[in-house]
Chains A and B, each alone.
Chain A
Amino acid sequence: MYNQTEIIKDTTDLGPDGELVINMGPQHPATHGVLHLVVTLNGETIKKIEPHLGYIHRSIEKMCERLSYRQFIYVTSRMDYLSSHINNTACALLIEKGMQIEVPERAKVVRTILNELTRIASHELWIGAMAMDLGAFTPFFYAFREREMITDIMEDTCGARLTMNYIVPGGLMYDIHPNFQTKVKAFVKQFKEKVTEYEDLVTGNIIFQSRTKGVGVLTAEDAISYGCSGPVARASGVSCDMRKIAPYDAYDRVEFDEVIETAGDSFARYIVRVKEMNQSIRIIEQLIDNIPEGEFVGKTKNVLKLNKGEFYQRVETARGEFGVFIVSEGGTTPYRIKFRSPGFSNLSVLDHIAKGSKIGDLMATMGTLDLVIPDIDR
């Protein structure tokens, strides 16, 4: 009979060291989007990962050079579509800073509440998708139950479920729905009762813990050097919450903790996001009862023109630090826009932390990095 090692040596697909190169994606059952990873394996151990991007590159930066300042905000909704309100807030804040527009208090508080609801919705979907990557289908349906409550609130107030074009430079596009406060309070009450279900289903599950503890360890120096931000960096001990460093809207008046873990592995990244959801609920509870009366939008001209110069605005999305950089030559359209997306830097660390682990661990690592590929490709 054939000797097993002889058969392996006969195949011509392997490299000189017995390495096998496989493609993961661009179409694959994980719900991250179109990411193409070229993985070099030796048996089941990963030697090198090379991400190939560009499968959803929609040339947004070039397109925005021909859009006016009121129009380009809504393209950012479609970049990181799970934090669409937060992306829109970044662009609106930049224009308000550049043109010295006054934002009324009511708009600031409502924007903060919507940002935190978006953060919770994004983390909910992430829990569902990550558990599905690891093979558990049930948390997906439980997570979507809460997410549907949030999209219901968004639909009443903003008019759309996913790409809500509601935040304009100066405040909000129209006033909030009369049921907004009651629905948000009902959601907060249900979330607090049901969040223990996630603890029971996922966090305490022995299989989930052994698949994520000690997997994909990222040290703090590497996190800073690779430019990571958001829950990925906070799980390694780096304090980087933009809501605390450069507060905007109503974040300077609410009390919340920045969740930091030190282990740096996938389980720590998971715990950071679950605790962040609880902190978001805390912020919403402090604001929902006292929405100030008044105008919902400040006075702006119809056609906006930024002065000549360069402007940068940073916000904290569900994935990390999102930055908008505009170079303006004084016209009605921006001269150059650059979107600093959090996923771009978070993806660059994948090769470093997944080297040497098994291919089954790659799913846990990639899942906890929480990548949304249109945000990376722009």
Chain B
Amino acid sequence: MELNENIAGNPPFPGIIHETPGGGIVVSTFDSVINWARSNSLWPLSFATSCCGIEMMSTASAKYDFSRFGFEVARASPRQADVIIIAGTIVNKMAPVLKRLYDQMADPKYVIAMGACAISGGPFFYNTYSVVKGADHVIPVDVYIPGCPPRPEALLHSLISLQEKIKMGMTRDQIRSEFKTS
């Protein structure tokens, strides 16, 4: 079966097609079909605190459309969202709010830290008394996107990489250690 063979690229299709007269039969496992469906419709939670939020809005609009990849429906409620894109700086007053939103999201959920501020505090690292130096002090992060702000193409690249990892059936711990080594 060609399911988990293509590590670097997109697995072509979750299943083997047997051609029969009058149609075809697809043989697959439930896990691969569910992973394929899940990865193609990740709904982001709209959580933009500062400047990176504008680049996220640009990615949502017509030029760098991310609804082609299934992210179109940006839900406002954390109960209905799959992935939270932390776009912007997290400060001490906002950290409990972020933790509460993350707890309210249902499993399986993913976290993307977009921009230098969400990775490590960014330009506000030194001499500030109110900035949390990295969103991963608050919630576990799966994907980090560097940039201040990152280009919309960088955000698309990270979303597509996350989709590929999900399609291959990796758990969150595996996704995080995979990104660390490569």
Contacts and interface: CB of A to CB of B under 8 A. Distances in A.
Interface of A: 26-29, 31, 33-34, 54-60, 62-63, 65-66, 74-75, 78, 81-82, 125, 140-141, 144-145, 147-148, 151, 161-163, 374
Contacts, number: 99
Contacts of B129: 59, 62
Interface of B: 46-51, 53-55, 57-58, 61-63, 76, 88-89, 91, 93-94, 97, 101, 123-124, 126-131, 148-149, 151
Contacts of A27: 46-47, 76, 97, 101
Contact of A26 (B53, B97, B123, B151): B97
Contact of B131 (A26, A59, A162, A374): A59
Contacts of A151: 58
Nearest to B129: A59
A31 B48 contact: yes
A151 B59 CA distance: 13
Contact of B54 (A56, A66, A125): A125
DSSP majority for the A interface?
A: loop
Given A63-B126, A162-B54, 16 more contacts: A27-B46, A27-B101, A31-B53, A33-B53, A34-B49, A56-B89, A56-B91, A57-B130, A58-B89, A59-B124, A59-B127, A75-B123, A140-B61, A144-B58, A145-B63, A374-B50
B97 A148 contact: no
Contacts of A66: 126-127
Contact of B124 (A58, A140, A147, A163): A58
A81 B51 contact: yes
Of B123, B127, B130, most buried by chain A (CB within 10 Å of CB) is B123
A67 to B, nearest CB: 8
A371 to B, nearest CB: 13
